[in-house]
């Protein structure tokens, strides 16, 4: 049986894709009032600078494929700090409910008597779509979108292939850069045409974002020469609508034409 919840609170906050002006107002208020901030490796310096000067900041280092703090350690660290009476913010890139282990962390804290609040954020797929001017769903082209991950477990690729062969499904594949070649082969084997439009977006939503366009058959090429940022793969007809210029650049160009 869970312990009775005590007055302490841990906020599990989504920092969005990196830019501070893409934070929600609630996320901004949480960060500005934090007394302890446990943040993931992808959180930008711009966002971290919003925390108070006296705030205890601990980098938890969660990066796929790299040495990082174990989840059990993060859980116990949050619990220990919360029990000291500090206002704790667990800051995650994107949205904490999208591949952010928010369920595990909330369940652990609640079971040990600490209340939690989840503050949503903009997830990478939505950030990429907005930044490079393409929709994730589109009438007569994409009737649904599937968020999934590409990760290796015991040397084997783990992914959701249930919608792989549906030409009207947009696949947003998180953490897909390292498995691009195998993903290409798996998608084609599952029935998705090699000519299906595809995107590789590195560091989606941030000022350093990079877009590469191609097809499912070219996924491996699309992730070549990356700069080490997280890679999102977008598969589907909507990918053909992406513009390599960010939407802000397009607006500036339109204004200059009207001038």
State the catalytic residue, choosing from 21, 40, 160, 165.
40
Q: Spell out the alpha helix ranges (H) of the chain.
A: 25-32, 45-48, 71-83, 102-111, 124-131, 180-189, 219-222, 247-258
Asked if 40 is an active-site residue, the reply is yes
Instruction: Judge contact between 36 and 88, C-beta under 8 A.
Output: yes
Residues in Cβ contact with 175 at an 8 Å cutoff, skipping those fewer than 6 apart: 64, 99, 149, 150, 151, 230, 231
Rounded Cα distance between 157 and 90, Å, is: 29
State the catalytic residue, choosing from 62, 70, 95, 249.
62
Rounded Cα distance between 132 and 21, Å, is: 17
H or E element that contains 156: strand 156-158
Asked if 225 is an active-site residue, the reply is no
Buried b or exposed e, range 156-189, using 16+ CB within 10 angstroms: eeebeeebbebeebbbbbbbbbbbbebbbbbbbe
- In this structure, the chain runs to a length of 259
For 202, other C-beta atoms within 10 Å of its C-beta total 22
Rounded Cα distance between 134 and 85, Å, is: 45
**Enzyme catalytic residues:** 40, 62
């Amino acid at each position: 049986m869970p312990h009775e919840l005590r007055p302490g609170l841990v906020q599990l906050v989504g920092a969005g894709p990196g830019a501070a002006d893409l934070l929600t107002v609630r996320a901004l208020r949480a960060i500005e009032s934090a007394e302890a901030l446990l943040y993931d490796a992808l959180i930008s310096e711009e966002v971290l600078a919003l925390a108070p000067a006296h705030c205890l900041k601990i980098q938890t280092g969660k990066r796929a494929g790299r040495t990082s703090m174990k989840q059990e350690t993060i859980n116990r660290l949050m619990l220990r700090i919360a029990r000291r009476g500090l206002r704790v913010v667990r800051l995650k890139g994107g949205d904490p409910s999208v591949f952010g282990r928010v369920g595990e962390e909330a369940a652990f804290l609640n079971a040990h008597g600490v209340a939690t609040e989840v503050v949503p954020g903009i997830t990478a797929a939505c950030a990429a779509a907005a930044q490079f001017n393409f929709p994730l769903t589109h009438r007569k082209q994409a009737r649904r979108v599937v968020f999934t991950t590409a990760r290796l477990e015991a040397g084997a690729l783990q992914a959701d292939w249930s919608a792989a062969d549906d030409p009207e499904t947009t696949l947003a594949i998180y953490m897909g850069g390292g498995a691009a070649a195998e993903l290409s082969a798996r998608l084609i084997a599952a029935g998705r045409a090699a000519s299906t439009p595809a995107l590789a977006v590195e560091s989606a939503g941030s000022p350093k974002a990079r877009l590469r366009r191609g097809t499912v058959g070219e996924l491996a090429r699309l992730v070549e020469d990356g700069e080490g940022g997280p890679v999102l793969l977008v598969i589907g007809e909507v990918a053909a609508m992406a513009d390599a210029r960010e939407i802000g650049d397009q607006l500036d160009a339109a204004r200059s034409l009207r001038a």
